[in-house]
Amino acid sequence: MLSLSELCAHEPNIDSLKSELKKAKHDTTKIHLRFDIGVAEGNFRIAYWDSLANDAKKASSKKYEAGALNNLGYIYDDLGDIPMAIECYKKGLKIQEDIGHKIGIATTLNNLGQIYKKQGDISRGLECYHRSLHLEEEQGDKGARAVTLNNIGGIYSLQGDLLKALDCFEKSLKLNEETDDKKGIAQSLNNIGMAYKKLGNIDKALESYNRSLLIRKIVGDKRGLAFVLNNIGGIYSMQGRTQKALDCLNMSLEISEGLGEKRGVAQALNSIANTLVQKGEPQLAFSYANRSMQMAKELGFPENIENSAKILKTIFQMQNKYKAALEMYELEIKMSDSINNQETQKITVKKQMQYTYEKRELQMKADQDKKDVISIGILNQKEKERNYFIAGFGLVIILVLFILRSYTQKQKANALIRLQKQMVEEKQKEILDSIHYAKRIQNALMMSEKNIESVLKKLQMI
């Protein structure tokens, strides 16, 4: 589940949702629809999400309770109430972990990481981001990965590793373009612009900012509009186009104040103070810089405090207030060290190496699993082939035995026939021999009769 600002990029038909809400009978369905309506309307009221979280809890709708808590944390973060933001995120995270909602876990970790980063707790921030990135890659969620890559790029940018930051931002842009996430594209372009600005490529920075500005106007992203106007104003200020810079910055300030977005207000106030210093109006600049410092301290974010201290140091120098300028310089260095010291940079490298190693390990395991599946498939195929061969060979043996049996039976039958034939022939021979014998007797008798007749004739003649 994405954060409130990210979800607003995918606005459903609000009238249709409200119509469905009137027809809904079950509490869980009503909670689901109210959640979608709140997101679609860009509802930034604490009371709305607090009520939804309580209703979801009563209805045992864990997923929407966690989503409402996540959005509450986002709103408290915008309002500068960081302890409440962290409390809401942690409650939501616990629920997401209990129900095993991995994308919800990833989103909440991302939001927690953002707070830790702004507080200067780079180690915990990176830990959240990398845990989030693992889950997003596992789930194949390109949009969520794009958000996390933007956030990791932000840490590299803070620590001055601008090429790595730019690489993260460009990867994020590509993912957002693949999913056609307009607000995500605008955010990535804004971050790319900041990286180019720090690298000294002002033309590329302004080009990226203007592309981001156009998209934010189209989608109606007021919060994003305030931030990109602040960045464009900073470019105009660098170029000496102070009036144009102040026009952009005042618009940014007005939007952020209207939204109650304290961090945006602090940044706009600081940028206006910088531009007024360039314009040669240190006294007026001080009023903006001082308000910016108060708000930055209220938020407790080292980066904002560092920026405010830097401009106040310059103003005090212009006013010959060197003691005050020295205090601001020391505060600036202290805040800078909390973000950029060698220890946090080591942690960043270590976390990145750990993430890369774990990702490679997971990839290797996935590749091995594929190989195992293929090997098992080959073994199964060979086993089938062997079984087929054995079965075929068995059939051949049975056929041969059958043929041999038939042949043997035929041979026996032939032998019997030959024997019977021989017996018949012998019988026939015996019969013929008897006939011949009888005939000889007959012939012998006939000869005797002739002899008798001859003797009788002779006697008569006497």
pLDDT 10s digits, 374-416: 666 676 777 777 777 787 777 778 877 777 777 677 777 666 6
**Token pair 């301290």 is at which residue?**
297
Q: Residue range 284-309: average pLDDT?
A: 91
Question: What pLDDT is stored for residue 1 in this prediction?
Answer: 35
Q: Where does the pLDDT of residue 362 fall: very low under 50, low under 70, confident under 90, or very high at 90 and above?
A: very low
For residues 74 and 107, give the distance between their C-alpha atoms in angstroms, rounded to a whole number: 11
Inform me whether the pLDDT recorded for 365 exceeds 60: no
127: nearest Cα among 378, 344, 445 = 344
pLDDT greater than 90 at residue 38: no
Q: What pLDDT shows up at residue 422?
A: 72
Using CA atoms, how far apart are residues 42 and 225, in angstroms rounded to an integer? 15
The span from the first CA to the last CA of the chain, in angstroms, equals 159
Residue 79 has pLDDT above 90, yes or no: no
| pLDDT score recorded for residue 398 | 81
Residue 424's pLDDT is 66
Rounded to an integer, the average pLDDT of 298-322 is 90
3-state secondary structure of 359: helix
| Residue 265, token pair as written in the block | 């207000």
Query: Is the pLDDT at 451 greater than 80, yes or no?
Result: no
Cβ atoms of 197 and 235 closer than 8 Å: yes
Asked if pLDDT for residue 360 goes beyond 60, the answer is no
**Average pLDDT of span 246-274:** 93
Residue corresponding to tokens 């180690």: 123
Is residue 7 predicted with pLDDT exceeding 50?
no
Lowest pLDDT segment from 89-98, 262-271, 329-338: 329-338
pLDDT at 224: 92
Please give the pLDDT value at position 385.
75
pLDDT tier for residue 191 given thresholds of 50, 70 and 90: very high
pLDDT of the residue at 381: 76
Report pLDDT for 153. 92
Tokens (6 digits) for 297 = 């301290």
pLDDT of 98 over the 90 cut: yes
CB 113 within 8 A of CB 134: no
Q: What is the mean pLDDT of the chain?
A: 82
Top-confidence residue, 239 or 451: 239
Yes or no: domain 1-140 corresponds to CATH 1.25.40.10: yes
Q: Other CB atoms closer than 10 Å to residue 130's CB: what's the count?
A: 21
pLDDT confidence of residue 310: 92
Architecture in CATH for domain 221-339: Alpha Horseshoe (1.25)
Predicted pLDDT at 9 = 39
Give residue 459's pLDDT band: very low, low, confident or very high (50, 70, 90).
Answer: low
Better-predicted residue by pLDDT, 389 or 18: 18
Which pLDDT band, with edges at 50, 70 and 90, does 164 fall under?
very high
Query: Which stretches within 239-321 are classed as H helix?
Result: 242-259, 262-278, 282-299, 302-318
In this predicted structure, the answer to whether residue 82 has a pLDDT above a threshold of 50 is: yes
Q: Which of 252, 217, 218, 215 shows the shortest CA–CA distance to 232?
A: 252
The pLDDT of residue 100 is 93
Tokens coding 414: 């032939």
Dist CA 355 CA 305 (whole Å): 31
337 band by pLDDT with thresholds 50, 70 and 90: confident
Q: What is the pLDDT of residue 458?
A: 63
The mean pLDDT of 116-133, rounded to a whole number, is 87
Q: What is the pLDDT of residue 396?
A: 74
pTM of the predicted model as reported, rounded to 2 decimal places = 0.62
10 band by pLDDT with thresholds 50, 70 and 90:
very low
- Taking the mean position of all CA atoms in its chain, how far away is CA 267? 33
Band of residue 353 on the pLDDT scale cut at 50, 70, 90:
very low
pLDDT, average across residues 290-294: 94
Query: From the centroid of its chain, how far is CA 252?
Result: 34
pLDDT for the residue 343: 47
